[in-house]
Amino acid sequence: MHFERAIISDLVIITPKRFGDDRGHFMETFREDLFQEQIGSIRFVQDNQSFSALPGTVRGLHFQLEPRAQGKLVRCSAGALLDVAVDIRVGSPTYGKHVAVELSAENGKQLWVPTGFAHGFCTLIPNTEISYKVTDYYSAENDRGLQWDDPELEIAWPVKPEDACLSLKDRQQPKLSELGEVFSW
């Protein structure tokens, strides 16, 4: 596995090694020993999977408040998506900045998103599936979001706002300037 620090160094892009032949390929998508060596002692408690039929489906930008904040190890198990993590840690030198990485079943890349970041994605092709491990259980009480197309974030989404397929919840999230102090650096 190759671990690469993103522009925001707390975010890590992980590329597993693929071993292939005429039958297909094999790869280790997670190794606790290597993860701990490169990122730290993280305990995952739940695996999640989401399927989106349409390209241009946007899910996010989501996060959970303390004491139920979640770190996420995200990968695309089918199709392709643009994965985005926004730093929402007040006081951070990269507050309001983001990292966007194309994750696909073909490239095998994964993104480690620690607590203190809002996370979301946009599907690039039909029938895209995202799988991710989280460090805490889902908590409706602590579930929050950030407006996905807030101009202040300057995210180059691959879909126009009027063409995006969004949930009602994701259409009603606050802008960064309205968020308040949800995490501190």
Enzyme catalytic residues: 62, 132
* 178 contacts: CB under 8 Å, gap ≥ 6: none
Joined together, the tokens standing for residue 4 give 């690469």
**Cα angle 63, 14, 170; round to 5:** 25
Instruction: State the Cα–Cα distance between residues 114 and 3, nearest whole angstrom.
Output: 15
Q: What distance in Å separates the CA atoms of residue 183 and residue 66, rounded to the nearest whole number?
A: 8
Contacts of 151 (CB under 8 A, 6+ apart): none
